[in-house]
Amino acid sequence: MGFKKLDFKEFSEEEMRQRSKSFLDELSTRRTVRDFSNKSVSLDIIENCIKAAATAPSGANKQPWQFIIVSDSKVKQKIREAAEAEEKEFYNHRATKQWLEDLNQFGTDWHKPFLETAPYLIVVFRQIYDIKNDGSQRKNYYVNESVGIASGFLLAAFHNAGLATLTHTPSPMNFLGKILGRPENERAFLLIPVGYPDEEAEVPEITKKPFTDISKNI
C-alpha cells in the first residue's frame, strides 16, 4: 500500500462557523418516525446514502459492515412477523418494569407495522471476521465501534436526503440473518426502516440534554 497527498479543503473561520451551525440546524430537525408513508423512493437515493455511510472510518480499514436493502414485500412481511414475535415476548415477559416505564413516553408496543409500510428496510450487519476465498478467516477490529459510526453516517445521510428513519433493534435479531441468508460471519446490528413520514405522523415531545450536560472543556 502506498500513500498519496491528502485532499483537504480549508475554510476561513467564519465559513467554518457558518457550516457547523448550518449542519447543527439541519440535524436538529431529525426525528425518529414510526408512521411511514408507502410512497416510493428511488433506489439510487438509498444507494447514495449507503455509499456515504461506507466512507466512515473503521478499525484497520477493514470496513466490517454490510447494508442489505430490503424492498420485497414478502421479505418485509417475514421480517415483520419475526420481529413482532420477539417484541411480543419482550413486552410481555423479558422487559423490566423500569424499562417499560422508560418506553411509556413513546407509546410503543410489540406491533411494528412500519416494517411493511416503509418502502425500504436497511438491515445493517457487522462482520465479526472476514472469510477469504480459500475459506480461511481473518479477524476484524473494533467491529461494533466501526459499524456504529457508519450507522450514524447513514442516518445523517438519509436525513440530508429528505427521508425519515427509525432505528429498530428487536432482541435477539438472529432471525434477520436467517431470513436474508447471510453468512456465518455476520451478525445483525441495526434494522432501519426508511422512507417518507405519513402525512399524519406524530412524534413525542422530547428534549435533548443541554450542552453543559454532555460536554466539558478541560
Q: Concatenated DSSP letters for 168-212?
A: B--SS-HHHHHHTT--TTEEEEEEEEEEPBPTT-------PPPHH
Instruction: Compute the distance between CA of residue 13 and CA of residue 20 in angstroms, rounded to an integer.
Output: 10
Residue of higher predicted confidence among 24 and 172? 24
Terminal Cα-to-Cα distance of the chain (whole angstroms): 38
Cell numbers found for residue 96:
423490566
Residue 165, SS3 per DSSP = strand
pLDDT tens digit string along 163-215? Answer: 999 999 988 899 999 999 999 999 999 999 999 999 999 999 999 999 999 99
What domains can be seen in the chain, in order of their start residue?
A: 38-195 (3.40.109.10)
pLDDT for residue 1 is more than 80: no
pLDDT tens digit string along 112-159? Answer: 999 999 999 999 999 999 999 898 999 999 999 999 999 999 999 999
